[in-house]
Amino acid sequence: MGILKDRFKAKADEMTVEIKNLLKEHGNKTIGEVHLSQVYQGMRGITGLVSETSLLDAQEGIRFRGYSIPELREKLPKAKNGDEPLPEGLFYLMVVGDLPSTEEVNHVTEIFQRRSHVPNHVFAAIDALPLETHPMTMYVIGVMALQTESYFAKAYAEGINKKDYWLPTFDDTILLIARLPRIAAYIYRRKYKNNQHINPNGLLDWAGNFAHMLGYDDESFMELMRLYMTIHADHEGGNVSAHATHLVGSALGDPYLSYAAGMNGLAGPLHGLANQEVIKWIFEMQEELKTDLPTNDQIAGYVQKTLSEGKVVPGYGHAVLRKTDPRFTAQMEFAKKHIPDDPLVKTVWNIYETVPPILQSLGKIKNPWPNVDAHSGALLVHYGLVEYEFYTVLFAVSRSLGVLASLCWDRALGLPIERPKSVTTELVKKWLEGKDEIWGE
């Protein structure tokens, strides 16, 4: 692990000094003002976190260390004969801050390959759950069962010096990422493939091996997994999964506790679970309309019905983005290249033509455009991965790259416990009457 750890430490030491000076000189500058409505409405738009690995622009979409998704698809090293970026390269970029060479990416792949063994008690914990258990529940329980392996928890119990926290956090991060595809594939094969498990192939890259263990050895599916694992990895720090990981980690919860907390957040239908909801919604529409390829008029009618029942249209809208998500576009490009005639993919594109004007006409939705989850399921269904309750687990495996890279940075920069101030409505009313003050701690 030498190169990766050494380079991370060198960068983190540089940044620590830089931030210290920056705060000394500018710590009292005001970043923005907070409106009472924001306090009640999900803290939307309040800048209150630092996350080094990526930054989200409302118009442009996500940039990882300054690189957009199209740039990463061009610049990150690929598998032999492949066109899509290897997610190990994105992990290197998020951890170290620089684009990796092919050699550096191969080094990360080898690190993961050598550490992918999952102890039996993790499988036993998953096996103890009824088969009907949702795959995300099984996944988080698997992660928690693996917490017995935490270097950070052991080091803390033994009284580690706070300046060294980053080291066992880093070691836990690498081990967790190396093992997560095995846990996820175990859940998939247990629940959907009659418990017929597939051993890892130690010669494959991280995402290729994941595809193999799921039971998909088709090169084009492996390419999809490489793209999927890259584009779902990170979306700056304020989204529920990243924020929950950071929050729990800020109390010095080890990476297993922190990541599991984040993935419990990802399992909410307004966040990562939206990927299963999209396909469920499309399947239900097809069934109700009795066609595999509904017309745009039929889709419009079904959207109106969904809205009239007080439900959201899954896969559309975003708390920060105000344009089509570039992660949607990347998947659309993949589909145009590999599977342009797939009827479900065509339906996803027809929905893309139909939904935004309808949502826009409601006047209250800030972003009528599709997010990442609007497209991912249709690609998976094409290759035979039709069990949509499993989709959020795929997202969770990918998200480990970003949230755990960020946790390493949190520890290296010595970020403190997170504790924003809350108020009661009683206090707000007194403050509005001028009888009391609202102050920060």
Which SS3 state, helix, strand or coil, does residue 57 take?
A: strand
Catalytic residue among 235, 243, 246, 318: 318
Calculated CA dihedral for residues 77, 376, 133, 281, nearest 10 degrees: 180
> Which residue out of 373, 375, 382, 410 is catalytically annotated?
373
Catalytic residue among 232, 235, 246, 271: 271
Give the CA count within 13 Å in the CB-facing half-sphere of 374.
29
Angle at 166 between CA 56 and CA 52, to 5 degrees: 15
Q: Please, which residue, 337 or 366, has the CB nearer to ligand HAX?
A: 366
Rule CB under 6 A: is residue 319 a binding residue for ligand HAX? Answer: yes
Give the number of other Cβ atoms within 10 Å of residue 180's Cβ. Answer: 29
What count of other Cβ atoms lies within 10 Å of the Cβ of residue 219? Answer: 13
In whole angstroms, the minimum distance from the beta carbon of 386 to ligand HAX comes to: 20
373 is catalytic: yes
CB atoms within 10 A of CB 432: 11
Cβ-contact 275, 373 below 8 angstroms: yes
Question: Can you tell me which of 313, 351, 379, 407 binds ligand HAX, judged by CB under 6 A?
Answer: 313
22 binds ligand HAX (CB under 6 A): no
Q: Which is nearer to ligand HAX, 254 or 325 (CB)?
A: 325
The yes-or-no answer on residue 246 being catalytic is no
Q: By C-beta, is 213 or 380 nearer to ligand HAX? A: 380
Residue 402 is a binding residue for ligand HAX (CB under 6 A): no
Output b/e per residue, 278-289; b: 16+ Cβ within 10 A: bbebbeebbeee
Q: Specify whether the CB–CB gap between 219 and 326 falls below 8 A.
A: no
Binding ligand HAX (rule: CB under 6 A), the pick from 67, 123, 316, 390 is 316
CB 274 → ligand HAX: shortest distance, Å?
4
Instruction: For residue 65, state whether it binds ligand HAX (rule: CB under 6 A).
Output: no
H/E stretch holding 68:
strand 67-68
Identified binder of ligand HAX from the candidate list 114, 121, 305, 366, rule CB under 6 A: 366
CA distance 112 to 115: 5
Q: Are 247 and 418 in contact (CB under 8 A)?
A: yes
Among 312, 423, 427, 428, binds ligand HAX (CB under 6 A): 312
Whose tokens are 């914990």? That residue is: 125
Residue 234: active-site member? no
Cβ neighbours around 55 below 10 Å, total: 16
Strand partners, 68: 63
Binding mask 223-252 for ligand HAX (x = CB under 6 A): ----------------x-------------
Among 52, 84, 373, 410, binds ligand HAX (CB under 6 A): 373
Q: 101 near 77, Cβ under 8 Å?
A: yes
Q: Residues 415, 50: contact at Cβ < 8 Å?
A: yes
> Among residues 199 and 361, whose Cβ is nearest to ligand HAX?
361
Should residue 364 be labelled a site residue for ligand HAX when binding is judged by CB under 6 A? Answer: yes
SS3 assignment, position 275: helix
Work out the end-to-end distance of the chain between its first and last CA atoms, rounded to an integer number of angstroms.
41
Q: Which stretch binds ligand HAX (CB under 6 A): 32-40, 56-64, 118-126, 306-314?
A: 306-314
183: left (phi over 0), alpha (psi -120 to 50) or beta: alpha
- Residue 221: C-alpha distances to residues 82, 121, 215, 339, 380 (Å): 11, 30, 10, 11, 8
- Rounded to a whole number of angstroms, the minimum distance from the CB of residue 266 to ligand HAX is 7
Q: C-beta of 272: minimal distance to ligand HAX in Å?
A: 4
> Per rule CB under 6 A, is residue 371 in the interface with ligand HAX?
yes
Stretch that binds ligand HAX, among 61-69, 95-103, 370-378, 401-409 (CB under 6 A): 370-378
Site string for ligand HAX, 258-277 (x = CB under 6 A): ------------xxx-x---
Residue 315 binds ligand HAX, judged by CB under 6 A: yes
Interface with ligand HAX includes 62 (CB under 6 A)?
Answer: no
Interface residue with ligand HAX among 226, 318, 375, 411 (CB under 6 A) is: 318
Q: Which one, 147 or 306, has the nearer CB to ligand HAX?
A: 306
Residues in contact with ligand HAX by the rule CB under 6 A: 239, 270-272, 274, 312-319, 364-367, 371-373
The set of catalytic residues is 271, 318, 373
